Amino acid sequence: MNRLDTDVLILGSGGAGLFAALHAKAGAPDLDVTVAVKGLLGKCGCTRMVQGGYNVALAPGDSVERHFMDTIEGGKWLNDQELAWILVTVARERIRELENELGCFFDRNPDGTIHQKAFAGQTFDRTVHKGDLTGIEIINRLAEQVWARRIGRLEDHRAVALIKTRDGAAVAGVVMIDMRTGEFLFVRAKAVLLATGGGPTMYRYHTPSGDKSCDGLAMALSAGLRLRDMEMVQFHPTGLLAGPETRMTGTVLEEGLRGYGAYLLDGEGRRFMTKTDKRGERATRDIVSRAMFAEMRNANTGPMGGLFLTMGHLDAGEVRRQFPGMVERCADCGFDLVSGRVEVVPTAHYMMGGVEFAPDCSTALEGLYAAGEDTGGVHGANRLGGNGVANSTVFGGIAGDTLAKWTPKHGKFRDPDEAAIAAAEAECLKPLANPPGDLEEVRERLAQLMWDDAGIVRDRVSLGRTLDGLDKLDKVLAGVGVGVDGRDLAYNLAWHDWLNLKNLILVSKVIAAAALARDDSRGAHWRADFPATGDLETSAFTSARLAGDRIDVSMRPVAFTRVRPGETLIKESAAE
């Protein structure tokens, strides 16, 4: 196996990974920092796909306390309050850094101040944006800065296993596959950052980029780390429904449309959100998705089984001006967003759950750090639109700061457990020895199982079915080969698909096990058999880990370190 040494290895090049690389290099210029990524740097992951924008309390009348309370109320009191506080306070620094140091340029008001728009579930219009394609602006500027510095790059490199020292006390490096050749590479590092961005792509309808298959979460589980809040999978209400033949189905139409005043209509053209929530279409994602799911179950739908989004009652010129990307995306799929109706469906968008981590981004394993969508705790039971990219950039930067301080002082190249390296390689090579099989069938069965039984609405029976079904799928996948002719592993997408499915099945099991353990309904998690929220004062979060082949889930009390249920941090004057 090829070998490489680097001081700091960053897995993933989204907002979290790139911010971490820049901060690590700025804080300790002599550190050898390498970013390894499954695609091309700057061209993959979800940060690039951010449409709506970035939440930050900037305007007079808004405050970090208000942003914090929106985040906690949205998270149904399951958030780690210290992490949420860091999110809202450091976001103010980060947005200035994005503009003044990295060169982003966000939309402006006529007086030159940054324009902030409405997003659902917020008591103040605080979403900073660049039209409706904010992520491209952020990721392009970040990538330019990374290219301009002496930061190593391993593109088209897929991380497959975190390798510890022989005594298991610390991380020693990562086994990767160079996807261009299929060769294995062991990267030894003094510190590793997990920033592979989660991504619930196991559901029938989903939004994240195709390179995301929960690899970081699966690697963390296998390394013995705990994941929290894994039952909390967010469905975005407005995924495009363009038919089964196109990958455009499931891609998201941004929240700003509902924030701006779009209506949702049932199959007969009637608004239905007004009967569910006084905020109507501007209710939080979980509430809107559930209301849509109920209409779908009652077959009160459009021709493809979805609901309709319409902006026809709004000023057509303004809709075109404010949402050019969305108008174009709909037109590409044959829909007229400005004056017609677009068929939409709730689509799996974001995982609130992830690796348990500390405010400095350290984890329970020495030398291993985590940031961005791979982590859990910031958002609790529900992520507010606009808090996702804030999370990845805020904590990515913090991770970089920590790595710059920790690595020169405490980091050292450690001898890896060589047996674990060999085992990781052997595990990846398994499907090459099997007779060719039908991966598509496994993917279809996984997508349908998760959508039907562990999605927007669950109960004990459906979750039991999910766990049984996933065990069976695991066995089916183990027997499926990827039909490698002459073992040509260069850009072997079938092989990578097999590896993706392996990780997705494992993480799906954790989602289902955590959902079974939580016998209440909060935020994104709705148990039809336990519809009550439960006592907020005794709120507990799920914490899951692998124990052999079993998934062990425990409930842990939420620490109300800043505010208790029923209290608020918003000061009277700001609350007016």
* Residues lying near ligand FAD in the complex (CB under 6 A): 11-17, 36-39, 44-47, 49-53, 158-159, 195-197, 207-208, 211-212, 215, 252, 350, 372-373, 385-390, 392
Neighbours of 426 (CB within 10 A): 9
Distance CA 87, CA 64 (A): 9
Please name the helix (run of DSSP H) or strand (run of DSSP E) that holds residue 74, with its range, or none.
helix 64-74
Beta pairing, strands 152-154 & 33-36 = parallel
> Which residue of the chain is nearest ligand FAD when measured via CB?
14
Q: Give me the amino acid identity at 406.
A: W
Q: Give me the amino acid identity at 167.
A: D
Please name the helix (run of DSSP H) or strand (run of DSSP E) that holds residue 364, with its range, or none.
none
By beta-carbon proximity to ligand FAD, the closer residue of 143 and 311 is 143
30 alpha carbon, distance to own chain's centre: 32
Whole-angstrom Cα Rg for the chain: 23
Active site residue 258: yes
Shortest Cβ distance from residue 502 to ligand FAD (Å)? 12
Beta pairing, strands 2-11 & 33-36 = parallel
DSSP letters spanning 483-550: --GGG--TT-HHHHHHHHHHHHHHHHHHHHHHHHH--S-BTTB-BTTB-S---GGG-EEEEEEEETTE
Neighbours of 567 (CB within 10 A): 10
Provide CB contacts within 8 A for 358, sequence distance 6+.
Answer: none
Active site residue 313: no
In 251-386, alpha helices (H) = 256-260, 285-297, 316-322, 324-332
Closest CA to 451 of 347, 539, 325: 347
Across 80-137, the runs of DSSP E, i.e. the strands, are 116-117, 127-128
By beta-carbon proximity to ligand FAD, the closer residue of 307 and 428 is 428
Residue 561 DSSP code: S
Q: Which of 188, 236, 329, 527 is catalytic?
A: 236
Shortest Cβ distance from residue 565 to ligand FAD (Å)? 26
Shortest Cβ distance from residue 297 to ligand FAD (Å)? 25
Q: Quick one: tokens of 514?
A: 């955590």
Beta pairing, strands 183-194 & 2-11 = parallel
Q: Give the CA distances from residue 411 to residues 8, 18, 114, 371, 505, in Å, rounded to whole numbers and listed in that order.
A: 9, 21, 41, 19, 34
By beta-carbon proximity to ligand FAD, the closer residue of 125 and 459 is 125
Shortest Cβ distance from residue 184 to ligand FAD (Å)? 13
By beta-carbon proximity to ligand FAD, the closer residue of 210 and 408 is 210
Shortest Cβ distance from residue 516 to ligand FAD (Å)? 26
Neighbours of 265 (CB within 10 A): 18
Shortest Cβ distance from residue 508 to ligand FAD (Å)? 16
Shortest Cβ distance from residue 211 to ligand FAD (Å)? 4
Shortest Cβ distance from residue 39 to ligand FAD (Å)? 5
By beta-carbon proximity to ligand FAD, the closer residue of 114 and 467 is 114
Q: Which of 66, 129, 158, 258 is catalytic?
A: 258
- Pair 208, 521: CB distance under 8 Å: no
- Pair 345, 292: CB distance under 8 Å: yes
Residue 99 DSSP code: I
Distance CA 51, CA 134 (A): 5
Shortest Cβ distance from residue 470 to ligand FAD (Å)? 21
Provide CB contacts within 8 A for 158, sequence distance 6+.
Answer: 38, 176, 177, 179, 215, 496, 499
Give catalytic residues, as residue numbers.
236, 258
